[in-house]
Each structure stands twice: as C-alpha cells, then as structure tokens.
Amino acid sequence: MGWAPSVKVIANWFPLKSRGRVGGAYGSSYQIGAACSLAFAGFLAGAFGWKWCFWIPGILVIVSAIHCWIRVRNAPEEVGLPTIEEEANKTNELKGIRKDHHLGFGYTIKALGNPAIWFMAFGLFALNIVRYGFMVWAPSYMFEAQHATISMAAYKTAMIPLAGSVGAIFAGWMSDKVFQSRRAPIAAIMLFLLGLSAWLFPQIPVEMWVLSLLCLMVVGFMTYGPHILIVASAPMDYGTRKAASSATGFIDGVGYIGAALTGILSGWLTDVWGWDAAFYLWIGASIFAGILMLLLWNYNPEKREYE
C-alpha cells in the first residue's frame, strides 16, 4: 500500500527529465532493504528469538510513518512553491499555498486507458514471472541441481537484489541521459539480456561457482533495472502526475498476477519436466516482456497542463 502513494509524491515533485534517475535511486531502496532485512531478521532470531523479527520491524515502520507525517509533503503547491508545470513554462512565481486537486474519477479512467500503460502492465506481468521465479526457486535449484548447501544457496540468492539495486540506478540514469526520458528502450535491452543470462545460468558447470555467482548477479541487474522503470518512472510519465498513483497501482496489480502464477507454474513444470522447463518459462517471459517494450521504443510521454 505504500508504493503507489510514494510514486505519486515523486511525480509531484520531479519533472519528466529527472524521473528516471530519481525513480532508480528510490527503487534501489527496497532491494537493499530486502537484503538487509534478511540479515537483520537472522540476527534478531538468533540473538533474541523469532518473535523479535516481528516486533522490531513493526516499531521501525511506525517510526518511519511518523517521520513521513512530519516531513514529507504531497506536492510543491501545498507548501507555496511552483508546480513542475509552472517551472517548465517559466511561470514559477510564488502563488501561495494551494491544494493538489484530484481531477476526478473520469480523469483517472481516461489516464488508465492509455495503451502504453497496458503494455507496461503486461510487461511487468511477464517480468515478475522471471523475478519471482528466480527469487523463490533459485535457492531450490542450487540446492537440488548444483548440490549447494542451504546457506550458500541463500547467500548467492541475496546477490540478486543487491545487484538489482545497481541495475535500477543504471536503468534510470540511462533512460534520462541516453534515451531522452524514454523508459522503454533501455527496459527492452535489459529484458533481452535477462533472457540471455537466464539461459546461461543453468549451463554453467557446478564447480565454476564464481562464474555462476556473477551470472546470478547479472540476472539481478537485468531484472530490477526494467522493473523500476516499469513500476516507478513509466507510471509517472504515462499516467501523468495527477494519475501516477492509479497507474502505478494498476501496473503493479497486473504484475503481481504474474508473480502469483510463477509460484505455482514454475513448481509444476519442475515436477513434471524438470528444471529446464522452469528456465524455459523464465526465458520466454523475459523475451515476451522485451518485445512489449520494443513496441513502445519511440513513445514519448505528452506534456500536459493541469493548473
């Protein structure tokens, strides 16, 4: 419930030309946080017992909520600053405190009717098949097929979000600097490379564990780069800042259907046809998502007036 409102706040404060970099930096937080939380939970469970794995994170979330309530502001105009549209049009004189008015349910439906948002939604649907496929099933694969210890499989899997945080920052920067704030080109390139790295990973001999670890890090890098573009930067651009939260929620909602599907389908394929079948699913999903991004290669978000 926190992601979509957060994207809305970022969309209110940052213009099109910088949303890739800002979204990448913001998106890296949940990947680094995921890796840190695993280590922190292990420490708490070992030192104080498993119940503290619930108490301490809950307290931290409450502290974070209080901090957001005190410090975070929804939009520039709500603290008397010019909006991003006024900045862009050089009409950035101070106009006093105003509300960031919602433009109505009809406007939201119209924004969600943008075909680019649907392409992004189904792109995330396919990408989440790969993302959760690796996050959930890679430890089992390394334990069963590569005969790694459980602890080693867990440590290697933790490299996926850590490398992904770098990928998120890189993808956001590339989309702003190289592709003039177009998110789809770099997402397409990284998705095709994700498919290639997903194919390469099971081909690496067991004894070449360093190469296997590097390949897994490439998987993380190529997964979370397009992921953050699809769930953060693109919804701001395609849904406009007035419907950014709704666009993010819709895209993320469709994506989680893919996440739920891969939890069942990957396990079933592995049981029936072996691990190769699961990898073929993940490779195919990467390619499908890449093709959807190719269809948006030249898409430029429209600049609209709201005030």
Helix, strand, coil percentages in the chain from 3-state DSSP, rounded to 5:
80, 0, 20
CA–CA separation, 26 and 79 (whole Å): 22
* Contact of 134 with 279, CB cutoff 8 Å: no
Residue 174, pLDDT score: 92
Residue 149's region, left for phi above 0, alpha for psi from -120 to 50, else beta, is: beta
* Contact of 290 with 206, CB cutoff 8 Å: no
* Contact of 182 with 150, CB cutoff 8 Å: no
* Contact of 235 with 7, CB cutoff 8 Å: yes
Residue pLDDT, tens place only, 1-12? 788 888 888 888
* Contact of 299 with 182, CB cutoff 8 Å: yes
Residue pLDDT, tens place only, 19-41? 888 888 888 888 788 778 777 87
For the segment 100-121, the average pLDDT, to the nearest whole number, is 80
Residue 305, pLDDT score: 36
CA–CA separation, 284 and 121 (whole Å): 17
Residue pLDDT, tens place only, 184-210? 999 999 999 999 999 998 888 877 878
Superfamily of domain 3-294: MFS general substrate transporter like domains (1.20.1250.20)
Residue 306 reports pLDDT greater than 50 = no
CA–CA separation, 288 and 277 (whole Å): 16
Residue 113 reports pLDDT greater than 90 = no
* Contact of 224 with 165, CB cutoff 8 Å: yes
CA–CA separation, 190 and 214 (whole Å): 16
Residue 18, pLDDT score: 84
Residue 265, φ and ψ in degrees, nearest 5: -70, -40
Average pLDDT for the chain:
85
Q: Which residue has the higher pLDDT, 134 or 206?
A: 134
For the segment 84-102, the average pLDDT, to the nearest whole number, is 70
pTM, rounded to two decimals? 0.84
Query: Which tokens sit at 218?
Result: 């490439």
CA–CA separation, 45 and 67 (whole Å): 27
For the segment 72-99, the average pLDDT, to the nearest whole number, is 75
What dihedral do alpha carbons 171, 177, 181, 182 form, nearest 10°?
-60
The CA-atom distances, in angstroms, between 103 and each of 43, 83, 107, 279 are 47, 15, 6, 45
* Contact of 266 with 283, CB cutoff 8 Å: no
Rounded to 5°, angle at Cα 208 from 206 and 209: 80
Residue 93, pLDDT score: 64
CB-neighbour burial class of residue 46 (10 A; exposed 0-12, middle 13-18, buried 19+):
exposed
